[in-house]
Structure 1
Amino acid sequence: MTDTERTPAAATGEKQPFDLGTGPGRVLVWFYGVFTVAAASRSIVQMILDFGRAPLAYVLSAVAALVYGFITYSLVRGGETARRTALVCCAAELLGVLVVGTWTMAEPSAFADATVWSDFGMGYLFIPVILPITGMMWLRRARKA
């Protein structure tokens, strides 16, 4: 083994990869993981028990679960490709929350039952609208590190 192989990347001037799941990223991983389980559980139970009652709402909750799961995976995986993918997913999530939130406020009768993103996530303490903003801030910071 040569000296350059033993020398840490920081000492040789190489840029070390930023770990997305450390520091505040760990909190994001936790929240996204919890929301993955919550949205998936909710949508699965609702689709099994009473899909015909509100199919749009239940499918949107399942889509939210998939987005949350993918962001969780990307944050845990780390790396530049995962960071960019998670950033795009957070933007899509925010767009979904804003569209569904506005739709449910403007036309409440459009949904026979609430989704995770209904009323901008009011049923989840507005975390669904706060989470993608926080995620995008963290992911943009990670790019600069």
Structure 2
Amino acid sequence: MARTRTASGAARPGAAAPARNQGLGRIIVMVYAVFALSATARSLFQILTDVEAAPVAYSLSAFAATVYIVATLALARSGARAWAVALGAVLVELIGVVGVGLWTVLDPGLFAEETVWSRFGAGYGYVPLVLPVVGLAWLLAHRPSRPTAEEVAR
């Protein structure tokens, strides 16, 4: 049975839990959507105009764009499956930004051009580093409830 909090903070059985994509969740979805759009536009432009200049960086930009698109769509939806997809996408994003960030610091010569995740997202005000942490915290705070035996039997 789903529970929400009353004004006093006590759990109220039987009430529907607030949707993950409401309130702050909606802002998180909008930030992901902005990054999905900007990373997609940037990577498409880079790949279509000068892919030979930095194929690794441009490919990573396209990968980052795909991760942001998947995360945006999954965060915007409700349900356990969307939650699991969002969790996976945000974890991939976190691993990507930390991995690419380290890679660009340790071997900057490999990156003739920057990606959204270069230097831990420094070109984007480090938002790419902070965003998956916020996304994970939000997702973990809004886990879908496990169905009761009664709900499974239906």
Structure 1: distance between partners of 2:64 and 2:73: 14
The match for 1:60 is 60
1:23 Cα offset (Å): 1.1
Determine helix, strand or coil for the equivalent of 1:143: coil
- Deviating above 3 A after TM superposition, structure 1's stretches of 4 or more consecutive aligned residues are none
Normalization by structure 1: what TM-score?
0.87
Deviation at 1:143, TM superposition (A): 1.1
TM-score (ref. length: structure 2): 0.82
Amino acid aligned to 1:41: A
Alignment match, 1:5: none
Q: Which runs of 5+ in 2 are unaligned?
A: 4-12, 146-154
Q: Identity rate of aligned residues, in percent?
A: 42
Pairing 1:1-145 to 2, within 5 Å after superposition: 13-14=13-14, 16=16, 18-143=18-143
Contact map agreement 1:18 1:78 (CA 8 A) in 2: no
1:4 is matched with which residue?
none
**Which ranges in structure 1 are unaligned for 5 or more consecutive residues?**
1-8
Superposed CA offset, 1:63-109 (max 9, x none): 11111111110111111111121111111110000010001001110
Of the two structures, which has the highest relative contact order with CA contacts closer than 8 Å and spacing of 6 or more? 1
User: 1:32 and 1:16 mapped to 2: Cα distance?
Assistant: 26
What is the RMSD computed on CA atoms of the aligned residues?
Answer: 1.9
Structure 1 counterpart of 2:150: none
Shift of 1:21: 1.3
2: CA distance between counterparts of 1:61 and 1:15? 43
> Which amino acid is 1:64 matched to?
A
Instruction: Tell me the CA shift for residue 16 of structure 1.
Output: 2.8
Greater helix percent: which structure? Answer: 1
